[in-house]
Amino acid sequence: MKLRSPLLRAVAVLALLTACAPGTGGGGGGDGKSFEFWSFSAINQKLTVDAYKAKRPDIQIKLTEVGTSTETAQSLTTALAGGKVPDLVLIQGDNLPQFVEQPQNFVDLRTLGADDVKDDYLDWVWRQSVAKDGEVLGVPTDVGGMAVAYRTDLFAAAGLPTDRAAVSALWPTWDAFIETGKRYKQATGKAFTDNAGTSVFYQAVNQVSEKYHSADRKLVHNTNPQVKAAFDLGIKAATAGITSGQSSFESAWSAGMAQGQYAAVAAPSWMLNTIRSTAPDTKGKWDIATIPGGSGNWGGSYLAIPKRAKNPQAAWEYIKEMQSPQGQLEHFVRVGALPSTPSVYRDGKLADAKDPFFSDAPIGKIYTDSLLGLKPFYIGPDSAVIGQEFLNAITNVEQSGGNPATAWDDALRNIKTAIAE
């Protein structure tokens, strides 16, 4: 669309939203018997809401599936800036830091009793929602873990092992993963994995002890050798000719998955749902192996209560009930999201869970194992932008013929521009 009546329209939207100062008023004032809940689409949140309604028939919940996690965060920002806020909102981990920087927009959950349940959760996950003066802004609902989903039929056709233990043994390191990719490519002439940015770089860079910030929260993305090593792995995968060059979640990527254009894809626990719904005809042809490097986490979300919420108490009761270790375990059984509460990791419902779509892989065990020995690192408000620029530089080499030799410097320059420092 060309906006013939110009500018005015874009500007109108922009300025209208800015016209209202961020809400500083207090919340409360609701009936306490109902609350509004913003969640992402396509994560089956309704099942859990219905489960709560069954337990608490006196409570009305208005669930809105806003869109993707990014769209939900954008809508939340707009709402906080001056619109009608929900009582309860789901925030994805990557979007969380920008809200943690501005804790005045949210209810400090310690005032509702967050300290009492703190010990139920993985400590490093909990800490990501703690603001600088100790305010607790969110309760972690799930974590990603890490693994690789692969197509057993395509592996067999390439003469590779298909058993998940043997496949895991193929790639103790990312270099070995790339070598396996070359073997696959040689045998079949087809791409081994979807793309270097997401399936290699994003995984490797989340397996570090320090990411883009040092422990004292200074930016070190340009000097940290662990980041550079992960980036080099991404470039290596991009130039090895083992990827199909389809960026994650775009339409060609979905089509490629359904058509078997690639045989392996990095799969945090939430990705399993994506694979199921993107390529339903491939049921039973997948299996899950451990991630190169053994452990790591990508993703996970938080529930927060905006300051101006009308029914903060009702929202908190929902959090307390549904995000308790038992509540998260039931959520895992319903939709497969990995709990952020380690006390249930040995529960049979999780530890013995098998997924028929993925050749009965023991998903509970694989993903909880990937969280063991994880080294937590600080995630800052610029982390998402920095990660995106690194990813873009790798994608440029992979898909647009960019020069691999200058990719690192290009990425650093773009980051500098993007974060204006």
Partner 1 sequence: MTATLSPASRAAPPPPRTKKIAGVGERLSAYAYIAPFFVIFGVFGLFPFAFTFYVALFDWNPIGDQVFIGFDNFTRMFGDPRFWNAAGNTVSIWALSTVPQLLLALVLAHVLNHARLRFALFFRMSVLVPYVTSVAATAIVFVQLFDRDYGLLNWLLGLVGVEPVDFVQSTWGSHLLIATMVTWRWFGYTTLLYLASLQSVPRSVFEAAAIDGAGPWQRFRHISVPSLRPVIIFTVVTSTIGGLQIFTEPLLIATGAPLTCGAVRQCQTLTLFLYEQGFGQFEFGYGSAVGVALFVMVVAIAALNYLLSTRIKAD
| Contacting positions for partner 1 (CB under 8 A) | 1-4, 6-8, 10-19, 22, 74, 77-78, 80-82, 98-99, 101-102, 105, 197, 245, 247-253, 255-256, 261, 385, 391-393, 395-396, 399-402, 414, 417-418, 420
CA distance 225 to 165: 31
- State both tokens at 177: 């993963």
Q: Which is nearer to partner 1, 150 or 262 (CB)?
A: 262
Q: How far is the CB of 299 from partner 1 (least distance, A)?
A: 17
> Strand, helix or coil at 308?
coil
Please give the Cα distance from 156 to 159 (Å, whole number): 5
Render the burial of 2-12: b for 16+ CB within 10 Å, e for the rest: eeeeeeeeeee
Residue with Cβ nearer partner 1 (231 or 332): 231
- For partner 1, give the closer residue by CB, 343 or 399: 399
Q: How far apart are CB 403 and partner 1 at their closest, in Å? A: 12
- Smallest gap from Cβ 100 to partner 1, in A, equals 11
Residue closer to partner 1 (CB basis): 101 or 123: 101
193 or 328: CB nearest partner 1 = 193
Nearest distance from residue 322's CB to partner 1, in Å?
26
Nearer to partner 1, 138 or 197 (CB): 197
- Please, what is the minimum distance in Å from the beta carbon of residue 75 to partner 1? 10
Q: Minimal distance in Å, beta carbon 399 to partner 1? A: 4
DSSP-assigned states of every residue in 321-378 = HHTSHHHHHHHHHHH-PBPS-GGGTTSHHHHT--BGGGTTB-HHHHHHHHHTT-----
276 Cβ neighbours under 8 A, 6+ residues apart: 283, 357
According to DSSP, residue 27 is labeled: -
Cβ(363)–Cβ(272) under 8 Å? yes
Cβ proximity to partner 1, 322 vs 415, nearer residue: 415
CB atoms within 10 A of CB 348: 9
Please report how close the Cβ of residue 250 comes to partner 1 at its closest, in angstroms.
4
Q: Among residues 252 and 333, whose Cβ is nearest to partner 1?
A: 252
In residues, how long is the chain? 421
Report, in Å, the least distance between residue 219 CB and partner 1: 17
- Pair of tokens at residue 391: 């990813």
What is the C-alpha to C-alpha distance for residues 169 and 369, in angstroms, rounded to an integer?
15
E-assigned strand segments in 107-147: 139-143
